[in-house]
A = this chain, B = another copy of it.
């Protein structure tokens, strides 16, 4: 009976399903058209820009491109929470910077932290343990932590239109990768569950690990040495390390993504480069050149225009921002 049903579906086809909009949370407009046009041009056999399946690679920045990055990067909030959790074991932090500032709990003071401070905090809170122990810490943090403005777990604050885009590209034979300035091990904990992107398709800022044994079992210990900073020029370098080919499509939202988009454009054919622009203070956040988190400089906007990259307006192009919104 089941076989017959399968046969029937094969013969009759699924005309209704085939005509369903693959991007229902995108308003009609140039951004949606750019995506549909790219998929048509690169997957239809007769198209002069046809891309063979093995070359169908699409890379996505994460923070600000796939999920919320304000008021602070999620991983940074995790690290700050770890400092608070570890503070009782480190009485010296009461007088030692940057820990003193972090423990003061003053959100304004946090803005004075330098990149070096942040790197130190991430190293102290995310290394010197096995990769499994780190995974467990991250998993349990996500189970209870909530984003302050939306009052929801961080893993819910992903952009519905981008989830549809990831699925649509995969349905058309594209391998979807995350290429993030965030920690590779951090993002891998939830990438499959949240984005359908398996760990082996996540590049990120990566630290060295050291192989050894604990209780007779092999382990990898996370070391406080950086192997690759996967931001700006580090993005094409990371893509080369993890993938070894140029992507045919690349999606970002800030100055840190420019080189990744350039690298995709250099792949030739009819590549797709898109930048998410945060211009919707009502439904999400509005920020750009002046923001320390997710800087979208005027220079990047000029570059996008010059090179034909599509700028996605969250306000105009997205019908719906989050999966939890009413349809």
Contact = CB atoms under 8 A, between A and B. Distances in A.
A263 interface: yes
Contact of A236 (B3, B211, B217, B262): B211
Nearest to A198: B54
Nearest to A199: B244
A312 interface: no
Given A218-B262, A218-B266, A244 B211 contact: no
A227 B266 CA distance: 25
12 contacts: A7-B7, A10-B10, A57-B200, A199-B243, A208-B237, A211-B236, A211-B237, A211-B263, A212-B233, A217-B266, A218-B259, A227-B227
A6 B218 CA distance: 49
A182 to B, nearest CB: 14
Contacts of A7: 7, 10-11
A237 B220 contact: yes
A10 B266 CA distance: 43
Listed from nearest, the 5 A-B pairs whose CB atoms lie closest are A199-B244, A211-B233, A200-B243, A218-B262, A188-B244
A259 B211 contact: yes
Given A200-B243, A227-B227, A227-B241, 19 more contacts: A7-B7, A54-B198, A131-B240, A175-B200, A188-B244, A199-B243, A199-B245, A200-B244, A208-B237, A209-B240, A211-B233, A211-B237, A211-B263, A218-B236, A218-B259, A218-B263, A220-B240, A227-B228, A242-B242
Contacts of A245: 199-200
Contacts of A200: 57, 175, 242-245
Interface string A135-176: 000000000000000000000000000000000000000010
A228 B244 CA distance: 16
Nearest to A228: B227
A51 interface: no
Q: Most chain-B CB neighbours within 10 Å: which of A185, A211, A237?
A: A211
Contacts of A10: 6-7, 10
A311 interface: no
